[in-house]
């Protein structure tokens, strides 16, 4: 197989990012960008982000997860704590998140440390999920080998019967992580590949150092 992609070209010209116009706190810029992308650009899931971890086998691995909340403290997503990503985070909580909003020609890259959120917060989010998603969390031993799909559907059917008319409890191995950032880079595509890159780095006094990076 030999596929030459060298002629794939795109001109970036939908925006700019000037260092003297950015706020002191990167979470404020993230909120502005998220709102603009969500309102004005054709993204299927604005909250879709790539999570990179270092696996137990020593290899980095990326996968797409959904951002469910962000605050000045960090970025929250939910998963099975016993999944491959959960085990990787337990062994090495240093992770990277990235958003690529192609319609807006923007990218955000976040380096930080992941930690479990309080159980009551995971309970509250789990209760807000559709029943099908709640049952799916009970059925799935995420990342484990399963013999076939029919097995999963059979287990789901059993749980639907078991919990008919009842509240579905959150599995203790399922819940949220918050990624507390130490570095956030904002990338805005520009013409001639001279892209704007603004990097925020958290300092010991908890202020943010702001630098422009060469594209």
CATH number at residue 91: 2.30.110.10
57 domain-assigned? yes
Distance (Å, whole) CA 171 – CA 6: 48
Q: Over the stretch 36-92, which tens digit does the pLDDT of each residue have?
A: 999 999 888 999 999 999 999 999 999 999 999 999 999 999 999 999 999 999 999
**pTM listed for this prediction:** 0.93
153 domain-assigned? no
Count of structural domains within the chain: 1
Q: Over the stretch 82-97, which tens digit does the pLDDT of each residue have?
A: 999 999 999 999 999 9
3-state secondary structure (DSSP) of residue 144:
coil
163 domain-assigned? no
4 has a pLDDT exceeding 90: no
Quick count: other Cβ atoms within 10 Å of Cβ 101?
19
164 domain-assigned? no
- Which pLDDT band, with edges at 50, 70 and 90, does 142 fall under? confident
11 has a pLDDT exceeding 90: no
Q: Is 193 part of the annotated catalytic residue set? A: yes
7 domain-assigned? no
Structural domain including 67 reads 19-130+173-212
Active-site residue (options: 9, 63, 129, 193): 193
DSSP for 37-79, written as a single string: HHHHS--S-TTEEEEEEE-TTS-EEEEEEE--EE-SS-EEEEE
């Amino acid at each position: 197989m030999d596929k030459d992609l060298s002629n794939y070209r795109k001109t970036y010209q939908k925006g700019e990012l000037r260092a003297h116009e950015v706020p002191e706190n990167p979470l404020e810029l993230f909120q502005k960008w998220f709102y603009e992308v969500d309102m004005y650009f054709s993204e299927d899931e604005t909250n879709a982000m790539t999570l990179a971890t270092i696996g137990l086998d020593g290899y980095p691995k990326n996968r797409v997860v959904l951002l469910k909340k962000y605050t000045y403290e960090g970025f929250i997503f939910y998963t099975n704590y016993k999944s491959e990503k959960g085990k990787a985070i337990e062994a090495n909580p240093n992770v990277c998140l990235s958003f690529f909003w192609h319609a807006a020609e923007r990218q955000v890259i976040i380096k930080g440390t992941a930690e479990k959120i309080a159980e009551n917060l995971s309970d509250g989010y789990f209760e807000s999920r559709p029943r099908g998603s709640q049952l799916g969390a009970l059925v799935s031993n995420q990342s484990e080998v399963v013999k076939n799909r029919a097995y999963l559907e059979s287990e789901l059917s059993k749980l639907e019967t078991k919990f008919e008319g009842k509240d579905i409890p959150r599995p203790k191995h399922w819940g949220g992580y918050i990624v507390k950032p130490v570095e956030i880079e904002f990338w805005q595509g520009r013409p001639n590949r001279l892209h704007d890159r603004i990097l925020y780095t958290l300092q010991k006094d908890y202020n943010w150092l702001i630098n422009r990076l060469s594209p």
